[in-house]
């Protein structure tokens, strides 16, 4: 099989997943966008969390051109992307009981805020405890996960629960267990993951919906402009000054 054919198959698989999510998750995306807009309009703060590669879609909605300025990353040292050595330590940290509570208790998050928790499998203690503790603090929680894992794998949390079991709203990425879209002769393992592509699109779709919801309420949503267009930096400085009490990535 030619390399170009494999590339085409990957694009087809990713496009198929995007179309499926667009169609099957439309109601949930609308509800999530409305919840983001409601929180923003009420003066609440917005946070996104993900561990390992699940942190990439969280980072994708924070401090970027065309993005909502109010989105903040909720980081855990050693778990943002693969920025820890060895990289396997990040996976191990996802299984540490109690870590989520410590992070939330030492974060700016408070009652009335909104937290996206992104976890492909949703089976490790960290995302489950992040959701339960956040809700106990009075936050709304939107889980972004693959619901398929809850039927094909066992939870690693002592409760037996998954992330999806402790959210106010769930967005299902539809990613198959194992997160690999292709197989080929001579390649011993399935390959070509699509979770980042699909989950990032889900997050951006929610933010786009929220922007429309805010505009419908008569509120000009605080969107960021590219710093590489004339006037972009000045625009962003004004937005960050006006909403500085809810933006934590500039401190």
Going by their DSSP bridges, the two strands 114-118 and 169-172 should be labelled as unpaired
Which two tokens mark 192? 């070509």
Q: Alpha-carbon Rg of the chain, whole angstroms?
A: 18
Q: What is the pLDDT along the chain (251 residues), one digit of tens a residue?
A: 566 899 999 999 999 999 999 999 999 999 999 999 999 999 999 999 998 889 999 999 999 999 999 999 998 776 676 666 677 766 767 767 778 889 999 999 999 999 999 999 999 999 999 999 999 999 999 999 999 999 999 999 989 999 999 999 999 999 999 999 999 999 999 999 999 999 999 999 999 999 999 999 999 999 999 999 999 999 999 999 999 999 999 86
Q: What is the pTM of this model?
A: 0.93
DSSP H helical segments within 139-243, as ranges? 149-152, 195-216, 232-242
Which two tokens mark 64? 């970027």
Largest CA distance in the chain: 58
Is the Cβ–Cβ distance between 61 and 67 less than 8 Å? yes
Which two tokens mark 218? 């008569």
Q: What are the Cα distances from residue 83, in Å, to 74, 121, 242?
A: 15, 20, 32
Alpha-carbon gap, residue 219 to 113, rounded angstroms: 18
């Amino acid at each position: 099989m030619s390399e170009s054919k494999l590339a085409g198959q990957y694009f087809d698989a990713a496009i198929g997943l995007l179309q499926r999510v667009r169609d099957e998750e439309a109601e949930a995306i609308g509800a999530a966008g409305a919840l983001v807009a409601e929180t923003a309009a009420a003066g609440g703060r917005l946070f996104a969390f993900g561990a390992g590669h699940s942190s990439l879609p969280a980072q994708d909605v924070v401090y970027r051109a065309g993005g909502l300025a109010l989105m903040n990353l909720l980081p855990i040292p050693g778990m943002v992307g693969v920025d820890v050595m060895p990289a396997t330590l990040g996976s191990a940290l996802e299984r540490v009981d109690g870590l989520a509570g410590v992070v939330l208790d030492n974060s700016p998050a408070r009652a009335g805020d909104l937290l996206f928790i992104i976890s492909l499998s949703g089976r490790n203690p960290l995302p489950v405890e992040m959701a339960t503790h956040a809700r106990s603090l009075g936050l709304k929680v939107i889980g972004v996960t693959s619901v398929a894992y809850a039927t094909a794998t066992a939870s690693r949390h002592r409760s037996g629960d998954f992330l999806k079991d402790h959210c106010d709203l769930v967005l299902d990425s539809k990613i198959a267990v194992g997160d690999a879209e292709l197989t080929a002769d001579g390649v011993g393992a399935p390959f070509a993951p699509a979770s980042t592509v699909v989950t990032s699109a889900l997050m951006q779709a929610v933010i786009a919906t929220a922007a429309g919801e805010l505009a419908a309420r008569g509120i000009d949503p605080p969107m960021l402009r590219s710093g590489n267009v004339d006037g972009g930096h000045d625009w962003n400085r004004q937005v960050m000054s006006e909403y500085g009490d809810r933006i934590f990535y500039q401190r």
